[in-house]
Amino acid sequence: MKKLLIYLKDYKKETVLAPLFKMLEATFELFVPLVMAAIIDRGIGSGNTSYVFRMGGILIALGVIGLVCSITAQYYAAKAAVGFATQLKHSLFEHIQGLSFTEIDTLGTSTMITRMTSDVNQVQNGVNMVLRLFLRSPFIVFGAMVMAFTIDVKAALIFVVTIPLLSVVVFGIMMLTMPLYKRVQAGLDSVLGATRENLTGARVIRAFNKEEEEIEAFEQKNNMLAHMQLFVGKLSALTNPVTYIIINAATIILLYTGAVRVDEGTITQGQVVALVNYMSQILIELVKLANLIITITKALACANRIENVFEIRSSMEWKQTGAACEKSASDSVVDFDHVHLTYAGAGAESLSDIDFHVKKGQTVGIIGGTGSGKSSLVHMIPRFYDATQGCVRIDGRDVRDYSMEELRKKVGIVPQKAVLFQGTIRENLLWGKDNATDEELWQAVETAQAKEFVEQKAGKLDFHVAQTGRNLSGGQRQRLTIARALTGRPEILILDDSASALDYATDAALRQAIRNMEGDMTVFIVSQRASSIRYADQIIVLDDGEMADIGTHDELLKRCSVYQEIYYSQYPKAQEV
């Protein structure tokens, strides 16, 4: 939690004023029992009505002043807590954006979403409550004890015994519940992960009639979370009854002692009432403190989880500026020099000894069976993952010697899953190039074979795209993601199975349009279709993470058994010929 407190540095005034006004409110509250004692002893006891009204006015004034102080304190506490949470979310989001795909894969999406939302909200509530009550409640408790000593020392000794006993109960329960709340938050991660997975794969689940199994699995995780919450809730719920028992027992003893002292003439009836009022104030504040400690316990558990994310450092370091490197003797644009790749936590290599060279303007096809490592290979070009052995070079320079900005300008990638963001088509396309003109946008749309349907949309480029592009078909989404990559006019374009939803005619027209673009763009096409990569200058055939062969379509059809198997499975008649 200490590391997160830096986000309160811009709210120093609020963090001082909030507890200060709460202390002022508490101070005025401590005078109320003394005023009540005076009303009983001097006003009601002597029948002095004017004194009763006068002191009643003082009570009202104390209440109004306390209310103003309380509202002011809550305003500053809320301002500090919300500002703190805002800065924390910004910083956490920025940190997550700086992590490499390896760390993001390890953490998991559901975990990061929980940290950004539920955990930050819990910490925000904790900060708010601490600023309002953390000083006020102990101040009232010990202030009431001190005020009791000013009335009668013997009766005040009951406070001396009661307060430590209550503290042991409250803090003991806190120590027991703190680790349990961490487990509850971990269980929440699991439930959110299952929910996200089910919503994302809803179509697949229904297609295979797995609703009942998924419902059962979700109920199991949800019930486990519910049981943990019930257990820790019951443990926390012990705070109130135990504190009430202790306080009520202390009140009974106080009334008995007070009655004896009144009978002896040591103290007055009004002073006994004041002592009981102070005991009631202690009860109320300790109940508040108990609830506060539960909130703080949750907040600390969540803060530790957030700190754990901040402590994760990206395994991928980027150069601030592209360092000058020795240019290779070859004229290759992309070189894979005996590259190996092993994902974090994986038992075996995903890619082994990948070695090939691509010249400027060439089109390279990558084909292979499912899980052969096609996407893994192209993801190393824009440096989504680093090679565990070997080296990937662009223009003769190791990709690790590029700055992120420089490398991203050179390489445009269209991922396997077409992802569009909420906003207009124009806003989505401008991700490729911030200052692109309408002419450049329309040119990219036309090349991506998306012009026809974009022109039919209301507003054309200003047509509103729903989140993830739900209001567009699969083929339309894919064509717009291709147009987004083309807007930036990258030197290297990677199409990672990004035309799977397109018909053969549109796919062929797209490839032809890309070939006709100016600038000798180097293109990598990952595809399951042999027709999509048939006319590539080079075709890389992958088999279980290894290069089975590399060459043209005709060459591979003669000598590569893996390529033959893929091609003839799609064109069985060609084998007969």
Mean pLDDT confidence for 498-519: 82
For residue 324, being part of any structural domain is answered with no
- The pLDDT score that the predictor gives to residue 574 is 62
According to the per-residue pLDDT averaged within each range, which of 159-168, 205-214, 311-320 is highest? 205-214
- The pLDDT score that the predictor gives to residue 330 is 55
Shared domain check, 106 and 136: yes
On the question of pLDDT at 132 being above 70, the answer is: yes
Mean pLDDT confidence for 375-395: 90
Q: How far apart are CA 477 and CA 468, in angstroms?
A: 9
Q: What are the pLDDT digits (tens) for 18-35? A: 989 988 988 888 888 888
Shared domain check, 384 and 268: no
On the question of pLDDT at 1 being above 70, the answer is: no
Band (9; pLDDT cuts 50, 70, 90) = confident
Tokens of 172: 């003991």
- The pLDDT score that the predictor gives to residue 88 is 92
For residue 419, being part of any structural domain is answered with yes
For residue 323, being part of any structural domain is answered with no
- The pLDDT mean for the chain works out to 85
Mean pLDDT confidence for 169-175: 78
Mean pLDDT confidence for 320-344: 72
- The pLDDT score that the predictor gives to residue 417 is 84
Mean pLDDT confidence for 170-187: 78
According to the per-residue pLDDT averaged within each range, which of 181-190, 242-251, 349-358, 500-509 is highest? 349-358
For residue 322, being part of any structural domain is answered with no
For residue 317, being part of any structural domain is answered with no
For residue 327, being part of any structural domain is answered with no
On the question of pLDDT at 72 being above 90, the answer is: yes
Place of tokens 């490398």: 407
- The pLDDT score that the predictor gives to residue 236 is 78
Residue type at 139?
F
Q: How far apart are CA 544 and CA 437, in angstroms?
A: 44
What residues make up the domain containing 239?
A: 2-311
Q: How far apart are CA 55 and CA 36, in angstroms?
A: 8
For residue 202, being part of any structural domain is answered with yes
- The pLDDT score that the predictor gives to residue 527 is 87
Shared domain check, 90 and 202: yes
- The pLDDT score that the predictor gives to residue 325 is 44
Going from the C-alpha of 440 to that of each of 360, 370, 417, 424, 489, the distances in angstroms are 23, 36, 24, 16, 10
Residue type at 180?
L
Specify burial of residue 306 (Cβ count, 10 A radius: 0-12, 13-18, 19+): buried
Number of domains in the chain: 2
**Which CATH number belongs to the domain containing residue 465 in this structure?**
3.40.50.300
Q: Identify the bridge partners of residue 397 per DSSP, sorted by sequence position.
A: 394
Shared domain check, 534 and 428: yes
Shared domain check, 569 and 519: yes
- The pLDDT score that the predictor gives to residue 538 is 92
Q: How far apart are CA 42 and CA 502, in angstroms?
A: 93
Q: How far apart are CA 212 and CA 193, in angstroms?
A: 18
- The pLDDT score that the predictor gives to residue 75 is 93
Shared domain check, 97 and 11: yes
**Least confident window among 44-58, 270-284, 310-324, 341-355:** 310-324
Shared domain check, 115 and 75: yes
For residue 326, being part of any structural domain is answered with no
Do 363 and 525 form a contact (C-beta atoms < 8 A)?
A: yes
Q: How far apart are CA 41 and CA 270, in angstroms?
A: 5
Contacts 24+ apart (CB under 8 A), 8-14: 8/80, 8/84, 8/127, 10/83, 10/87, 11/79, 11/80, 11/83, 11/84, 13/76, 14/76, 14/77, 14/79, 14/80, 14/83, 14/131
Shared domain check, 199 and 153: yes
Band (515; pLDDT cuts 50, 70, 90) = confident
More confident residue, 174 or 310: 310
Last residue of a domain, one of 311, 341, 372: 311
Shared domain check, 193 and 62: yes
Q: How far apart are CA 564 and CA 100, in angstroms?
A: 37
- The pLDDT score that the predictor gives to residue 339 is 92
Q: How far apart are CA 539 and CA 551, in angstroms?
A: 5
**Least confident window among 51-55, 350-354, 499-503:** 499-503
**Which CATH number belongs to the domain containing residue 117 in this structure?**
1.20.1560.10
Band (473; pLDDT cuts 50, 70, 90) = confident
CA dihedral 131, 134, 135, 138 (to 10 degrees): 160
Return the half-sphere exposure (C-beta side, CA atoms, 13 A cut-off) of residue 568.
13
Shared domain check, 399 and 263: no
Shared domain check, 374 and 280: no
Band (573; pLDDT cuts 50, 70, 90) = low
Do 84 and 6 form a contact (C-beta atoms < 8 A)?
A: no
Shared domain check, 339 and 298: no
Q: How far apart are CA 376 and CA 540, in angstroms?
A: 13
- The pLDDT score that the predictor gives to residue 366 is 93
Band (77; pLDDT cuts 50, 70, 90) = very high
- The pLDDT score that the predictor gives to residue 334 is 92
